[in-house]
Amino acid sequence: MKTFMKQDKQNPISEIRPGQSVELLKELHILTREGKLNQDSRRKLKQVYHLYQFIEPLLKSVLEEQGQVTLVDHGAGKSYLGFILYDLFFKALPSGSHIFGIETREELVEKSRELAARLGFSGMSFLNLSVADSIVSTVLPEKADVVTALHACNTATDDAIRFALEKRAKFMVLVPCCQAEVASVLRKNKGRSLGRDALTELWRHPLHTREFGSQVTNVLRCLQLEAHGYHVNVTELVGWEHSMKNELIIASYKDLPGRRPAQRMQEILRDLGIEEELGKRFFVPVV
């Protein structure tokens, strides 16, 4: 990660990376209209740059290998991530590289399109699609190099993983959010599970059911990615003081053996008694 310029309280622009569009940062409300940073916007800027340090090496890796890079950002929202990535990395590249933002809220898609046009960010497209619908959309290219999904709620993260697998993505960057599906199945089966063994105490209380369900969901996701040949790294996105939705999953395709993680995933589903309801979502054939 490039180091920040030395902070100058009299000149907030000194905290911004060289070449960064001040107009963009104002449009994203990271800078005020007067070009200043308040405490909240300074925190946002720090988080954006912190995330960028994880993604930049992945983009460089793809670029060095094939000369251009395609990134698809799921659950893009106001497209903070896409715009910052384009401004810091993509806008200096020759034609051919592209960012696609996928978002279900039409008004946000239209605003992103307008902003990209105003800034001259011609290598950005915004599509009014669900993550699931994007998998079969003919508007998107057959291959995506990098797939991101930040705070894609509940099963949308799993849809983003399926999209990335279908598109043979080299890298995935995921920040899961609101993972309720596994917890709901655990809650549904709690009555018959509690008498089975002492480990069911891990999710006996409602709060623990929710937290344990979230943990299990991400463990299953990591095993699923490993079963498809990816190397998976799990780390913190930001400090706990900023967000409890803090888990960052980075997957890099390495064509690794997948038999053992696939078996482990199926064992977890079976041992927790959730195989029948969730086996299809996390299913990977054991070869």
pLDDT tens per residue across span 47-72: 788 889 999 999 999 999 999 999 99
Residue 254 lies in a domain: yes
Mean pLDDT of 79-107: 94
Is the domain of 46 the same as that of 117? yes
Q: What is the pLDDT of residue 8?
A: 42
Q: What is the pLDDT of residue 2?
A: 42
Residue 234 lies in a domain: no
Total domains in the fold of the chain: 2
Is the domain of 150 the same as that of 53? yes
Q: What is the pLDDT of residue 48?
A: 80
Of the two residues 260 and 35, the one the predictor is more confident about is 260
Q: 250-274 b/e with 16+ CB inside 10 Å = b? A: bbbbeebebeebbeebbebbeebbb
Rounded to the nearest integer, the mean pLDDT of the chain is 86
Domain C-terminal end among 134, 152, 175? 175
Full residue range of the structural domain in which residue 191 is found: 179-229+246-287
Q: pTM here?
A: 0.88
In one-letter notation, the amino acid at residue 248 is L
CA distance 61 to 177: 28
Is the domain of 50 the same as that of 153? yes
Q: Could you report the per-residue pLDDT of 96-126, keeping only the tens digit for each?
A: 999 999 999 999 999 999 999 999 999 999 9
- The answer to whether 52 and 84 have CB atoms below 8 angstroms apart is yes
DSSP state of 15: G
Count of C-beta atoms within a 10 Å radius of residue 60: 12
Q: What is the pLDDT of residue 10?
A: 44
pLDDT above 50 for 242: no
Residue 162 lies in a domain: yes
Ramachandran class of 248: left when φ > 0, alpha when ψ lies in -120 to 50, beta otherwise: beta
Contacts of 122 by beta carbon, 8 Å cutoff, 6+ apart: 116
DSSP state of 28: T
Q: Could you report the per-residue pLDDT of 125-170, keeping only the tens digit for each?
A: 999 999 999 999 999 999 999 999 988 776 788 999 999 999 999 9
Mean pLDDT of 81-109: 95
pLDDT above 90 for 273: no
